[in-house]
Chain A
Amino acid sequence: MKFPLSWLKDYLATTASLDEILGYMLKAGLEVEDVTNPAEDLKAFTVCKVKAAAPHPDADKLRVCTVDTVDGEKQIVCGAPNARAGMTAIYAPLGAYIPGLDFSLDKKPRKIRGVESHGMMCSTKELNAGEDHDGIADLDDAINLGTPAAEALGLDDPVIDFEVTPNRADWLGVKGIARDLAAAGAGAFIDDPVRKVNGTYDCPIEIELDDPEACPVFAGALIRGVKDGPSPDWMQARLLAVGITPKSLLVDVTNYISIDRARPLHAYDAAKLKGTIRARLGKDSEHLVALDGKTYQINSEMCVIADDSGTIGLGGVMGGESTAVSETTTDVFIESAWFDPLRTARTGRTTGIISDARYRFERGVDPQSCIEGVQLALRLITEYGGGTASKVKVAGEAPRRDDPVEFFKRDVARLTGLDIKPAAMRKTIKSLGFAIEDTGETWLLKVPSWRFDIEQSADLVEEIARLEGFDALPTTSLPPLKGAKRIVTTPIQERVRTARRTLASRGFLETVTWSFMPKPLAELFGGGADALTVANPVASELNQMRPSILANLAQAVQRGADHGERDLRLFEAGPIYLGDGPKDQRSVVSALVRPVKSRHWNGADAYDAYAAKADLDAVLNAIGQPPARFQIGEPKQPHWHPGQAASLKLGPKVTVAHFGALHPRVLKALKVEGPVYAFELNLNALPQMKAKTTKTKPVFEKADLTPVRRDFAFIVSADTEAATIIKAAQGADKSLVSGVDVFDVYQGQGIDPDQKSIAIEVTLQPRGETLKDQDIEAISQKIIGAVAKAANGVLRS
């Protein structure tokens, strides 16, 4: 919302400077976004007096003028038809920047058809200060030579632009702003009620309201014999200042009142109206050609204004073309109605029409302002355009709020910590237009009809606190909570922290990527459900909630590779979405590497599927979930390499992670060159650690005896999983076998092609007494037996 300072002063008697006014706005919650002063652009321009205007010897349309200026007498060649001796005009010196033309005059006098011109005389259009078409600005002769042009044109008037919060529809009118600033202490509010125009005849146009909920009240009046022409200069200047292009008196008056009092009106050419004016709900078959020239489909949700010809306007949104006022209009019918905010907002959204009327009605227009609005229009139109006004006809009744709001004085201190005397509270509340019925501790307040944001005591607390100024609030640190300080994060967040640090310490760079991705790619990762599709995506490639982070990471490493990164390691800890319910979101940690063959004098290690497993294991160890407690199974997601990836499971049902190589087909669809190795760990699937009642750890029992290590090599069929052998060896004697490691896997010469050799080192940890040879032999036989049973393994001789 923009307004020039001079307009504010119509309703605010103040001696405050601009800066002080801005300070009051800040204090009251009117957040200033911009302040501009047209005078800044017009500093170079001053008033001059034309002494003589002789015809140009060489051009019919040019005049050679002798002009008295602040710089002395100047010869200026001028093409304006209205240039004449004795005229008071605006002088632009050589070198001046002409804002309306966006160029600067030459610094040296220029010859125009052989005659030197030492400057320029300007039109208001050339100064961005008006729309005059008759030539250069023709000012009142009473204005002295040398007067700054901005002052002469009434433009030395800063324009303030501020943000109107959705709760304060009354700030959409200059008068409402003035009321708040007066309450904040900026000056005295000038109510300036409209002086009534006494209509001399009854309004002949009938008004009917078919849906009192959509449009409960409609005031109208006719003016006959109007001459529509340009509106007065002061009105044009104000409209221009707030960014509205003046059109004609009738249009300008409705726009002016909309800004002045947040009261939208509509002017109809009465000659074009047929029969009764009716506010009713639309019909699905109807259309309206609106004032913007576009055709809109009507529906039964919308409130329309109609006459016998059909719809002639969308109530509170935009009028229709068929009944619009024009230069030929002589009889004008003024509408001043009230439209339901929610319905107006819906109509606005459906049609996409953005108008000053919609903006105000959907936030709430003062329902009691209908008659005042039409009266003000009658006054301004008859004053500047003549004509005779009818009496005001009112159909329906303005919605009225009679129930008082209870205000508890103690709430001010309770909610804000401010100590404010009741007298001061009373003054503030009254200055905002409330009526107070004092019943002791509780005040019953009658809410002014322009306030839609006042429901309860807390709302008054806000009014009192903001107008007192938040600077007055005490600054009180939060009191400490009772009891000991505890860990403040959730177990999942603790895991995220640890996992992130583990991966970063292992050379991974952390990323944060979009939660959404292209639907076709999401489908490759097992996603793509309709419930997880964004209906209005910001871009079509970001239309599906991600089922995995891996696609984003894979594409990121490829982008990195395209920029020359080698062996890039990326990870992300973030959400994935398995459904749209509140419990369908998972917190996962994903890491991904696109290795390149590296060379090193000391031998190069390539990142592979086992390296991904090692990184996953490192994360699991770091978050207190030893990898040994999980089982390894087939991959259960479609984006993994069927032979070089696996799932990590906890029992038959719970899958906690996947790791290994990504599927080449998926990589192709992602336009990523493989191989790519990765893991994705679902932190929600991991067992929750129970909070223990004590932090004490179990007593430490040191194994005093030296462990014994024995090697075994087994011949097994080629498809036997190493885990089977390890598990068998571990299970041979759980109290004695403390570790099993695979140190060799061999396939080739000396072994059947469908067999392989797996060599393990078993660590035996004796407890209590040293192992004797026969003990070791006995356990060795148990191990050999267990592997034979579990994997058909035969000890390699």
Chain B
Amino acid sequence: MSDIQTIETEALQAIDGAGDLAALDTVRVAELGKKGRVSGLMKTLGKMSPEERQEMGPKLNALKNRVADAVEARKAVLEDAALEAQLATEKLDMTLPPKPEHVGALHPVMQVFEEVAAIFGDMGFSVAEGPDIEDDWHNFTALNFPEGHPARETHDTFFMNAPEGGDPKVLRTHTSPVQIRTMTSQKPPIRVLAPGRVYRNDWDATHTPMFHQVEGLVIEKDIHMGHLKGCLIDFVKAFFEVDDVEARFRPHFFPFTEPSAEMDVKYTKKGDTIEIGAGDRWMEILGSGMVHPNVLRNCGIDPDEYQGFAFGMGIDRLAMLKYGMPDLRPYFEADPAWTRHYGFRPWLTPSVSGGLS
């Protein structure tokens, strides 16, 4: 049956020779269409005797399949080529800049608040808050600053206009009134941390009329000054991300703690950078002490049953020390260039497990 052979050879040649999909389709119709040559041969099967059919059937089917496969294969090749040709016309200049996205940043003070909260949170402290506009009792009297005491004078207090016949409120001079608000509203055991804005009437190279503090308070049954020391040394190590910190505690005076201590840490200055932990100089970083029995009594807590410690530290300065800002004043100037330089990436969330900075 050289017919089959011839048809196959011719068909495959025509398929291979089809230059585009239209030409290929013409070939397909000519061979496999209703009136096509291969289809025509297939139709002859019906008129054959069973013996002939048995012989020719497989051969013709094989022919049909081979031609159909060749069409499909050629079709794939041609389609690919067509796609490539089309894509070649769609070329873009990928060096063009996209629409600009604004890049935001977080303020260092707010970030350091979170770092501090993460560290103390890990030690079981919860965060507490209080108002910026305080009454005299919470800001001074309850904290064992007797009226007229010279210790009040050291605070450079901002006073609000006094209501008629009343006492003026003050802008809190420290976060310590949150101690009072906490102890008068919840029962020990207490471990709280109170971050916030504080205000003093002082403005020069190293002071701003508003700044930030974090207050800590622990009231339990058997917390002593050794815990204060341990807790704060643990904090300083974690905050400055150093393995060891040489620290010392010095007696000091705060009306609301007894005994009172200031904490110094060793540091070195290398050029403009400060390295905390070791070195040849001491730097004061916070004030602390055992909560004064008068303060506990003022809050309705029995100092014979409960005791504990409190501490307060300036966040702006801690941020300066850790991140090397040389000057406090730009903190509050909303200078975009400064914020881009010293600010933090939006997704940097301080945590003890995930890293602070």
A residues contacting B by CB (< 8 A) are 26-29, 31, 165-168, 341-342, 345-346, 349, 362-363, 413-418, 455-456, 458-459, 461-462, 465-466, 470-471, 473-478, 480-481, 485-486, 488-490, 492-493, 497, 500-501, 503-516, 530-539, 542, 545, 552-553, 556, 559-560, 563, 565, 567-570, 572-575, 577, 580-585, 598, 600-605
Query: What is the distance, in angstroms, from A429's C-beta to the closest C-beta of chain B?
Result: 15
Report B-chain residues with C-beta under 8 Å of the C-beta of A341: 148
Report A-chain residues with C-beta under 8 Å of the C-beta of B225: 415-418, 465, 470, 473
Contact of A475 among B124, B230, B261 (CB under 8 A): B230
B168/A535 in contact, CB under 8 A: yes
How would residues 203 to 226 of chain B score, 1 for a CB under 8 Å from any chain A CB and 0 otherwise?
A: 100000110000000100011111
Contact of A481 among B103, B124, B128, B346 (CB under 8 A): B124
CA distance A338 to B160 in the complex (A): 35
Report B-chain residues with C-beta under 8 Å of the C-beta of A501: 106, 346-347, 349
> Is B292 interfacial (CB-CB < 8 Å)?
yes
Contact of B339 among A28, A165, A342, A511 (CB under 8 A): A511
> Is B250 interfacial (CB-CB < 8 Å)?
yes
B102/A569 in contact, CB under 8 A: yes
B336/A565 in contact, CB under 8 A: yes
Most B-side CB within 10 Å, residue of A458, A471, A567, A585: A458
Name which residue of chain B comes closest to A455, CB basis.
Answer: B294
Q: Taking A416-B259, A497-B114, A535-B168 as contacts, is the C-beta distance between A567 and B102 under 8 angstroms?
A: yes
Contact of A470 among B109, B158, B250, B332 (CB under 8 A): B250
In the assembled complex, 24 residue pairs joining A and B whose CB atoms fall closer than 8 Å, in A order, are A29-B252, A166-B150, A166-B153, A415-B225, A415-B307, A461-B259, A465-B225, A465-B251, A481-B191, A488-B120, A500-B346, A504-B105, A504-B346, A510-B104, A515-B171, A515-B197, A532-B160, A535-B160, A563-B337, A570-B336, A575-B132, A582-B133, A582-B181, A584-B133
Report B-chain residues with C-beta under 8 Å of the C-beta of A465: 225, 251, 259
Query: What is the distance, in angstroms, from B256's C-beta to the closest C-beta of chain A?
Result: 12
A511/B334 in contact, CB under 8 A: yes
Contact of B131 among A456, A533, A585, A604 (CB under 8 A): A585
> Is B19 interfacial (CB-CB < 8 Å)?
no
Query: What is the distance, in angstroms, from B356's C-beta to the closest C-beta of chain A?
Result: 15
A456/B293 in contact, CB under 8 A: yes
Report A-chain residues with C-beta under 8 Å of the C-beta of B199: 515
Report B-chain residues with C-beta under 8 Å of the C-beta of A466: 251, 259
Which B100-114 residues have a C-beta within 8 angstroms of A?
100-107, 109-110, 114
> Is B321 interfacial (CB-CB < 8 Å)?
no
Q: A166-B150, A585-B131 are in contact. List 13 more A-B contacts (CB 8 A).
A: A417-B224, A458-B259, A466-B251, A473-B226, A478-B218, A486-B126, A504-B104, A512-B107, A531-B160, A531-B169, A535-B159, A545-B160, A583-B131
B293/A510 in contact, CB under 8 A: no
Most A-side CB within 10 Å, residue of B104, B126, B127, B132: B104
> Is B248 interfacial (CB-CB < 8 Å)?
yes
B105/A510 in contact, CB under 8 A: yes
A470/B251 in contact, CB under 8 A: yes
Q: Is the interface of B mostly helix, strand, loop or mixed?
A: mixed
Q: Taking A465-B225, A470-B261, A570-B334 as contacts, is the C-beta distance between A478 and B230 under 8 angstroms?
A: yes
Query: What is the distance, in angstroms, from A575's C-beta to the closest C-beta of chain B?
Result: 6
A507/B103 in contact, CB under 8 A: yes
CA distance A573 to B226 in the complex (A): 37
Name which residue of chain B comes closest to A474, CB basis.
Answer: B226
B105/A531 in contact, CB under 8 A: no
> Is B123 interfacial (CB-CB < 8 Å)?
yes
A505/B230 in contact, CB under 8 A: no
Contact of A500 among B110, B226, B255 (CB under 8 A): B110
Contact of B106 among A26, A167, A504 (CB under 8 A): A504
Report B-chain residues with C-beta under 8 Å of the C-beta of A490: 127-129
Report A-chain residues with C-beta under 8 Å of the C-beta of B161: 530-531, 533-535
Name which residue of chain B comes closest to A169, CB basis.
Answer: B150
B102/A512 in contact, CB under 8 A: no
Contact of B334 among A29, A471, A532, A559 (CB under 8 A): A559
Contact of A488 among B126, B203, B223 (CB under 8 A): B126
Query: What is the distance, in angstroms, from A750's C-beta to the closest C-beta of chain B?
Result: 33
CA distance A584 to B333 in the complex (A): 26
Contact of A506 among B102, B193, B261 (CB under 8 A): B102
Query: What is the distance, in angstroms, from B160's C-beta to the closest C-beta of chain A?
Result: 6
Query: What is the distance, in angstroms, from A381's C-beta to the closest C-beta of chain B?
Result: 31
CA distance A480 to B218 in the complex (A): 12
CA distance A569 to B339 in the complex (A): 12
A537/B105 in contact, CB under 8 A: no
CA distance A565 to B83 in the complex (A): 47
Most B-side CB within 10 Å, residue of A168, A473, A600: A473
Which B217-270 residues have a C-beta within 8 angstroms of A?
218, 222-227, 229-231, 233-234, 248-253, 255, 258-262
B106/A29 in contact, CB under 8 A: no
Q: Taking A166-B253, A481-B191, A538-B201 as contacts, is the C-beta distance between A476 and B103 under 8 angstroms?
A: no
Number of interface residues of B (CB under 8 A): 101
CA distance A415 to B259 in the complex (A): 9
Report B-chain residues with C-beta under 8 Å of the C-beta of A580: 133, 160, 169
CA distance A510 to B226 in the complex (A): 39
How would residues 269 to 296 of chain B score, 1 for a CB under 8 Å from any chain A CB and 0 otherwise?
A: 0000000000000000000001011100
B347/A509 in contact, CB under 8 A: no
> Is B121 interfacial (CB-CB < 8 Å)?
yes
B347/A602 in contact, CB under 8 A: no
How would residues 119 to 145 of chain B score, 1 for a CB under 8 Å from any chain A CB and 0 otherwise?
A: 011111111111111100000000000
> Is B163 interfacial (CB-CB < 8 Å)?
yes
> Is B162 interfacial (CB-CB < 8 Å)?
yes
B106/A533 in contact, CB under 8 A: no
> Is B154 interfacial (CB-CB < 8 Å)?
yes
Name which residue of chain B comes closest to A362, CB basis.
Answer: B150
Q: Taking A29-B251, A545-B133, A577-B132 as contacts, is the C-beta distance between A363 and B110 under 8 angstroms?
A: no
B127/A538 in contact, CB under 8 A: no
Report B-chain residues with C-beta under 8 Å of the C-beta of A476: 224, 226-227, 229-230
Contact of B226 among A417, A533, A539 (CB under 8 A): A417
A473/B104 in contact, CB under 8 A: no
A542/B251 in contact, CB under 8 A: no
Report A-chain residues with C-beta under 8 Å of the C-beta of B294: 455
B331/A475 in contact, CB under 8 A: no
A534/B229 in contact, CB under 8 A: no
B336/A473 in contact, CB under 8 A: no
Query: What is the distance, in angstroms, from B176's C-beta to the closest C-beta of chain A?
Result: 15
Report A-chain residues with C-beta under 8 Å of the C-beta of B96: 601-602
Report A-chain residues with C-beta under 8 Å of the C-beta of B230: 474-478
Report B-chain residues with C-beta under 8 Å of the C-beta of A553: 334
B252/A31 in contact, CB under 8 A: yes
CA distance A497 to B348 in the complex (A): 11
B117/A488 in contact, CB under 8 A: yes
Q: Taking A167-B253, A504-B105, A505-B104 as contacts, is the C-beta distance between A514 and B332 under 8 angstroms?
A: yes
Contact of B250 among A31, A504, A533, A582 (CB under 8 A): A31
Most B-side CB within 10 Å, residue of A417, A530, A585: A417
CA distance A417 to B224 in the complex (A): 6
Report B-chain residues with C-beta under 8 Å of the C-beta of A473: 225-226, 229, 249
CA distance A503 to B339 in the complex (A): 14
Report B-chain residues with C-beta under 8 Å of the C-beta of A583: 131
A470/B248 in contact, CB under 8 A: yes
B132/A515 in contact, CB under 8 A: yes
Query: What is the distance, in angstroms, from A445's C-beta to the closest C-beta of chain B?
Result: 15
CA distance A509 to B338 in the complex (A): 10
Contact of B251 among A462, A556, A563, A603 (CB under 8 A): A462
A513/B332 in contact, CB under 8 A: yes
Report B-chain residues with C-beta under 8 Å of the C-beta of A552: 334
Q: Taking A473-B229, A538-B202 as contacts, is the C-beta distance between A346 and B148 under 8 angstroms?
A: yes
Report A-chain residues with C-beta under 8 Å of the C-beta of B36: none
CA distance A533 to B133 in the complex (A): 11
Report A-chain residues with C-beta under 8 Å of the C-beta of B253: 29, 165-168
